[in-house]
Structure 1
Amino acid sequence: MKVVCTGYGIMAPNTKNIEAFLFNLKNGVCSLEIVEQSGPKNETNIVGLIKKELEDYEIDPKLKRLPRVTKLGIAATREAVKSAQIDLKNKKVGLFIGTSLGASGEKIFQDSIEHGKRGDYRSIPITFSHYANYHSITAAIARSIGINGITKTITTACTSSLEAIEEALLYLRSGKVDVAIVGGTDSPITQATTYAFAKTRSLPLNQSLDEGAVPFNKNSKGFAMAEAAGAIILEREEDAVHRAAHIKGEMVEVVSNNDGIDIFSIDETGEQMLNALKEIITGRQPDYINSQALGIGTHDQIEYKCSKLLFNHQIPYSSIKSMYGNPFGVVGILQVISSFLSVQYDFIPPTIRTSKNGFEDMNIVTETKYQEIKEVAITNHGHAGNNACAYVKKY
């Protein structure tokens, strides 16, 4: 049974909608910036921030008390539904949202914890329980688009949105839902997350945009934290054809697993990522790999190993994280959307800013490459060892 994508939406740094995303991908636009005195020793850091793109949702009185991360998710989901031109009434609709940190980084959440420590009952806002509950994000998104069917929240770190797709495929193929709205939302940039990842030496502190948060470059000291949201509409092929939907591409499959090692470590051999990618490409020939490479040496070396052992470095690799950084549980859905745009508009987005230092053997696309794109494999790795790979095809 084929499952197809009929709509998509996005909210990301310097990216208010799909049109802006397509422009930035084609033109290799860097949406990251350097922030001063943000590290534990007042170092600079590289991040991806959403600014004016969210203005309409910040001033909407109906959304005023919702967490920022929820507003991002609503923006992306509404655009996806509009893009699909679908009437959700009288359909079995499932909503599947992935998030890594939920609203735990928002100021109201942090302030409430401090009030609680002091026993300051009156200062705890009535909304605190919703900020602390990840599923409240998904529930609010469901309400904003007027659905009350199956509603699921998936949190598996940076693989969350890909694993949300994996679950949605099961629901569609079993007939439990007719339409799956799938996405992810995260707004993780806080002092706490900055300090935490600084301790693991995985942030590009005191590095310029020429050297820091650069995929496939051994001089990069780490990744760029970013905030974003993305969503897609998935339907069974026959349903989409019946309503004459504009099909963006086929969502073929998602495969996930876990390294199964200590939570403070990563399996540097990359065996489980290798296994997931090998399974998803069996019997298939991708035109390129939409890679999880993000500028951390150990992670990017796993991509190198997969490229060598599975493709002998012949298949092109590209990473959009050079443009958008790593928005935690959202990055998988952004990679999926960018892959659908690739097969629609026949191009490979570039891995910008990289010199390929240490990765010279790989076939890394550094300039936008226009050619027919029929199939794309996607790799994604999450904190605590989760791996997820996805596959999309031209329809």
Structure 2
Amino acid sequence: MVITGYGLIAPGIRNKQQYKRALERGLCAQEVMPGMGPNGIDIICGRIHDEPISDRRYRHYPRVAHLAIAASEEAAQMAGIHGADKFQTTVIMGTSVGGLIEMEAYAHLTASKQYRRFPIAMAGSGNPHSLSVAVAQHMGLKGQAFTLSTGCTAGVDAMLMAKMMLESGQADICVAGGSDAPITLGSIYSFMRLGAMSRSSQVERAGMPFSSESDGFVMSEASGIVVMELESHALRRGAAIYGILAGIHSNNDGLSIFESDATGRNMTEAMQRAVGSVSPTYVNSQALGMKINDRVEAITHRHLFGSSIPITSIKGNIGHSFASIGNLQVISSLLSMEYSFIPATIKTDAKGFDDLPIVMKTRYEAVEHVAVSTHGYGGNNTCLLLSKYREAG
């Protein structure tokens, strides 16, 4: 199961090369959002300022679809699938909050029953499936289209579903990924009430991975998409191969929608079943500055890898972009294997995690395998193993 292309858009990042630069240099694109927090306090978020696309055909599409369309363009170009069989190419996208921005923006019209002022765009914004349909339309694909909404694991869950579709012969190529644009007052207020989102107004103090001093994550918007196919199909069409999806496994904590399994047993099982007997070069962790999540990451790492395998998190660079963050971790891992470096965990002091082999400065070395962990709202754990591709002979 190979990856033949990918594309992304994230705060301060529009393409592969910009992402590589941000990861290698430890750049942070998060910023102060004046007055967006409770009682008008300033908070830190990761925003995309430029319009993702300018095509007027999509002016009534939700922002989450705009982000995905922008990412899909780079992925399709890299994979060379513009001429692929449009009926045998499947789109599977994940999202956590979908078109929440638009729904929240027009809520007052609903409350006041202003029917004639209500925009037709809401019919698309209120339907999460607009995301996959928009990507399929933009790429000219007529095959199956699916939208998953499994919280913050949705983007990598899309990759799990793509793997099953390809292995069962229901598709030749799958375009899989995630997209979210969660920065709204409703999202900010609710996650702050849960104690999950950082209240800090200092970029360097908000969303600190692997730190007991962190008070929560930094909310971000982004989209990340990969193109997947069987190796045999990729070789027949002469595609470049950027990595192998060597293993992937998902489970659920089975607790309240507001809880996670603090013992780490379920995350550990998901990671163990994803990596099997392989020792990864490093772990690309979902650690995002939430105390319980980061503790679970530490438990999993101590149990499976100990002090011999490095661990890092890219959340200090781009924040937490909900359903797309796992795909951004995957893409960062593919870049890591291609260019032989392990990105540093920025914005951390490692307090409370001193025993973990956290990568504090960019390390240049050969990268053969990367384990990726993600955890989502409602207790989903999805972990995967990426391996460097080497041609036979």
Deviation per residue, 1:143-190 (Å, 9 max, x gap): 011011110101101000010000000000111100000111100001
| Distance in 1, Cα, partners of 2:375 & 2:292 | 11
Matches within 5 A, 1:67-106: 67-86=62-81, 87-89=83-85, 92-106=88-102
Residue 343 (1) aligns with residue 337 (2): yes
- Decide whether the 8 Å contact of 2:275 with 2:384 is kept in 1: no
Which one of 105, 115, 128 corresponds to residue 109 of structure 2?
Answer: 115
- 1:38 Cα shift? 1.7
| Distance in 1, Cα, partners of 2:363 & 2:318 | 19
Residue 302 (1) aligns with residue 296 (2): yes
Amino acid across the alignment from 2:84: L
- Normalised TM-score (structure 1): 0.96
- Decide whether the 8 Å contact of 1:212 with 1:219 is kept in 2: no
- Decide whether the 8 Å contact of 1:34 with 1:47 is kept in 2: yes
SS in 1 for 2:4: strand
| Distance in 1, Cα, partners of 2:87 & 2:23 | 34
Identity over the aligned pairs, expressed in percent?
Answer: 37
- Decide whether the 8 Å contact of 2:43 with 2:200 is kept in 1: yes
Residue 213 (1) aligns with residue 213 (2): no
Q: Tell me the residue number matched to 1:386.
A: 380
Q: Tell me the residue number matched to 1:39.
A: 37
Which one of 348, 359, 382 corresponds to residue 354 of structure 1?
Answer: 348
SS in 1 for 2:57: coil
Deviation per residue, 1:112-140 (Å, 9 max, x gap): 43322322221222221111100012111
Deviation per residue, 1:307-349 (Å, 9 max, x gap): 1111122210010011011000000111111111111111111
Matches within 5 A, 1:196-345: 196-345=190-339
Amino acid across the alignment from 1:22: K
Q: Tell me the residue number matched to 1:133.
A: 127
- Normalised TM-score (structure 2): 0.96
Q: Tell me the residue number matched to 2:156.
A: 162
| Distance in 2, Cα, partners of 1:303 & 1:20 | 28
Q: Tell me the residue number matched to 2:59.
A: 64
Amino acid across the alignment from 2:99: A
Amino acid across the alignment from 1:147: L
| Distance in 1, Cα, partners of 2:85 & 2:230 | 17
- 1:207 Cα shift? 4.4
- 1:362 Cα shift? 0.3
Amino acid across the alignment from 2:340: D
Q: Tell me the residue number matched to 2:10.
A: 12
Amino acid across the alignment from 2:169: G
- Decide whether the 8 Å contact of 1:166 with 1:253 is kept in 2: no
- Decide whether the 8 Å contact of 2:87 with 2:142 is kept in 1: no
| Distance in 2, Cα, partners of 1:391 & 1:275 | 14
- 1:203 Cα shift? 1.8
Q: Tell me the residue number matched to 1:185.
A: 179
Q: Which runs of 4+ in 1 moved over 3 A?
A: none
- 1:91 Cα shift? 5.5
- Decide whether the 8 Å contact of 1:320 with 1:349 is kept in 2: yes
- Decide whether the 8 Å contact of 2:86 with 2:141 is kept in 1: no
- Decide whether the 8 Å contact of 1:314 with 1:362 is kept in 2: no
- Decide whether the 8 Å contact of 2:43 with 2:198 is kept in 1: yes
- Decide whether the 8 Å contact of 2:86 with 2:143 is kept in 1: no
What is the number of equivalent residue pairs in this alignment?
388
- 1:90 Cα shift? 5.6
- Decide whether the 8 Å contact of 2:162 with 2:176 is kept in 1: yes
| Distance in 2, Cα, partners of 1:316 & 1:90 | 41
| Distance in 1, Cα, partners of 2:45 & 2:79 | 31
Amino acid across the alignment from 1:275: E
| Distance in 1, Cα, partners of 2:46 & 2:241 | 30
| Distance in 2, Cα, partners of 1:172 & 1:362 | 37
- Decide whether the 8 Å contact of 2:87 with 2:141 is kept in 1: no
Q: Tell me the residue number matched to 1:22.
A: 20
- Decide whether the 8 Å contact of 2:100 with 2:184 is kept in 1: no
- 1:111 Cα shift? 4.2
| Distance in 2, Cα, partners of 1:245 & 1:121 | 51
- Decide whether the 8 Å contact of 1:28 with 1:349 is kept in 2: yes
Amino acid across the alignment from 1:81: A
Deviation per residue, 1:45-81 (Å, 9 max, x gap): 11100012x35x1x32122111111110000011100
